[in-house]
Amino acid sequence: MNISNYLDGIAKPLQGLAPWILRLVLGTSFILHGLGKFPLPPEKMVTWFESMGIAAPEIVASLVAMGEVAAGAAVILGGFLGATGHLLTRLGGGAVLVIMTGAFYLAHSDWFITEKLFMSEQIFLLALGLYFAIKGNH
């Protein structure tokens, strides 16, 4: 028996857990980031958005916080709901992409295609969002 076959034998019973590991990490991270911005509106974020000239900063900051919670919950809950869950997972992944793209654009525009980008945890959140937007529950 070669090492690859041996490792396949160990991993085979765990393969169903692999997407759940990603789902739970992404969903929990987004829920916690969003809840960390409560109560609404998140004052620090509102002040920051005001300094950048973003229109209706209270509304935008509140939508970001609620969007983070909703996106994380959608990615997790989607795994339990069959065909409807497949759509919910994809929408949650897409929302993660939108939120992370906004975060990169507003907060980390100097990171675009640099070492900083690929050394940050944010790139993994973006990648996981893309994964679930593409794959859904499949």
Rounded (10°) CA dihedral 29, 32, 34, 38 = -170
Domain with 69, as residue range(s), is 3-135
What is the pLDDT at residue 117?
A: 80
What is the pLDDT at residue 69?
A: 98
Mean pLDDT by groups of 10 residues along the chain of 138 residues: 92 94 98 97 95 94 98 98 96 97 86 82 94 96
If one counts the domains in the chain, the total is 1
Please compute, for residue 76, the number of CA atoms within 13 A of its CA located in the half-sphere on the CB side.
14
What is the pLDDT at residue 130?
A: 98
CB 45 within 8 A of CB 37: yes
The whole-angstrom separation of Cα 4 and Cα 96 is 35
The whole-angstrom separation of Cα 113 and Cα 110 is 9
What is the pLDDT at residue 96?
A: 98
How many degrees, rounded to 5, is the angle at CA 65 between CA 61 and CA 67?
110
pTM score, whole prediction: 0.90
